[in-house]
């Protein structure tokens, strides 16, 4: 039976073999085997999960990496959690390195906050705790009714910069938009490097679109209360593209939490090249790399894209040799061990500040 000496099980909720690599690395570090389960899609595309061993009274960890088929991965996680709940598992802890729908955490016009909906679904399915990494917005933790441990990948990426980028002391950390400036500042201060921020019409600030304040429309097409004159919000107009900071003759390192559609990164790299940067790196925790991302990266001025293995991207690496991977299974395995043994998680958050 797959029971560690201290009495916990680790399951993988993925039906795709390519997505189980991170789970295998974590269990190897823990010295346990993956739990016996079957996750598959029936001919009508329904997801079926079967637990092949007893979990009664046990603490269960479900590892779920998110492939391109996001919605299927969510259903796999929900169904497995519910199967474990109905099998009388004591605690069910989700290990979700990349939390899906995290960009949909703010109201957009007449849309919905999908991230909050997903948090409620996970709780209803039976999860009692979540381990994740670099949430798109830290405030997402408030959507949950149970504990959330939001680990950081930055120590691994900082180590990569120091060990794998020659002459990194001549580098400058770049935020591709003002909204990414805090993350870039954190990297710059830890590496004792300069900071540059991109600003202007080439950038599209997510916060401008996501806060819902464009609903109802600004243009008044109805008659309001007589005598009531509300001031209209002045429309924003972005200035011409500007690089705040000197990147001439430097290595430019663009940092962000997610790299998905890469058009913004490619455009930023072109501008940095025009401003005199002689080498350009992109560092991100989650490498979704959707659509034509590998081809665009290969044809761009970007020299290297460094992401962690929170999201499977082996196919994209075969298409583009510029993509490099940093393994974060060590910190995920340590988090599992500490949670099960009732040890403090503070060790994993050493020197992490509120703004990180």
CA distance 194 to 196: 7
Place of tokens 């479900």: 62
pLDDT, tens only, 222-248:
555 666 777 887 787 777 778 999 999
The answer to whether 145 touches 124, Cβ cutoff 8 Å, is: no
5 pLDDT more than 50: no
Per DSSP, the chain holds a count of helices (H) and strands (E) of 10, 14
The dihedral formed by the CA atoms of 308, 314, 320 and 324, expressed in degrees to the nearest 10: 30
216 pLDDT more than 90: no
* Residue 67 banded pLDDT, cuts 50, 70, 90: confident
How much is the mean pLDDT over the chain? 89
pTM here is 0.88
pLDDT, tens only, 312-341:
999 999 999 999 999 999 999 999 999 999
- In degrees rounded to 5, what are phi and psi of residue 115? -60, -40
Domains, the chain, with CATH or none = 9-151 (3.40.50.2020), 155-202+240-326 (3.40.50.2020)
208 pLDDT more than 50: no
CA distance 237 to 235: 7
Three-class DSSP category at 57: coil
- Spell out the SS3 assignment of 216-251: CCCCCCCCCCCCCCCCCCCCCCCCCCEEECCCCCCE
121 pLDDT more than 50: yes
Which range has the worst mean pLDDT, 116-130, 230-244, 289-303? 230-244
Place of tokens 């002391």: 169
């Amino acid at each position: 039976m797959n029971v560690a000496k201290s009495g916990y099980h680790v399951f993988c909720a993925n039906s795709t073999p390519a997505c189980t690599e991170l789970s295998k690395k974590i269990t190897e570090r823990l010295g346990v085997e993956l739990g016996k389960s079957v996750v598959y899609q029936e001919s009508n595309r329904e997801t079926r999960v079967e637990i092949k061993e007893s979990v009664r009274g046990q603490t269960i960890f479900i590892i779920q990496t998110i492939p391109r088929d996001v919605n299927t991965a969510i259903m796999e996680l929900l169904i497995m959690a519910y199967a474990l709940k109905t099998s009388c598992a004591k605690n069910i802890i989700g290990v979700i390195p990349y939390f899906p729908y995290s960009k949909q955490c703010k109201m957009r016009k007449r849309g919905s906050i999908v991230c909050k909906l997903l948090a409620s679904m996970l709780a209803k399915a039976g999860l009692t705790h979540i381990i994740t990494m670099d949430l798109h917005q830290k405030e997402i933790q408030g959507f949950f009714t149970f504990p959330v441990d939001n680990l950081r990948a930055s120590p691994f990426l900082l180590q990569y910069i120091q060990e794998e980028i020659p002459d990194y002391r001549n580098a400058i950390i770049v935020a591709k938009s003002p909204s990414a400036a805090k993350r870039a500042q954190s990297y710059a201060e830890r590496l004792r490097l300069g900071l540059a921020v991109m600003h202007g019409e080439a950038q599209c600030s997510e916060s401008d679109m996501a806060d819902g304040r464009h609903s109802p429309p600004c243009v008044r097409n109805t008659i309001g209360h007589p005598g009531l004159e509300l001031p209209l919000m002045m429309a924003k107009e972005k200035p011409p593209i500007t690089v705040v900071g000197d990147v001439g003759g430097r290595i430019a390192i663009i940092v962000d939490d997610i790299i998905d559609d890469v058009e913004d990164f490619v455009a930023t790299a072109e501008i940095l090249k025009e401003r005199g940067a002689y080498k350009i790196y992109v560092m991100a925790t989650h490498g979704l790399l959707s659509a034509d991302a590998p081809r665009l990266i290969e044809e761009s001025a970007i020299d290297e894209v460094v992401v962690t293995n929170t999201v499977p991207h082996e196919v994209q690496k075969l298409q583009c040799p510029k993509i490099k991977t940093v393994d974060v299974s060590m910190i995920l395995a340590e988090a599992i061990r500490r949670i099960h043994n009732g040890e403090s998680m503070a060790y994993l958050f050493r020197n992490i500040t509120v703004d990180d």
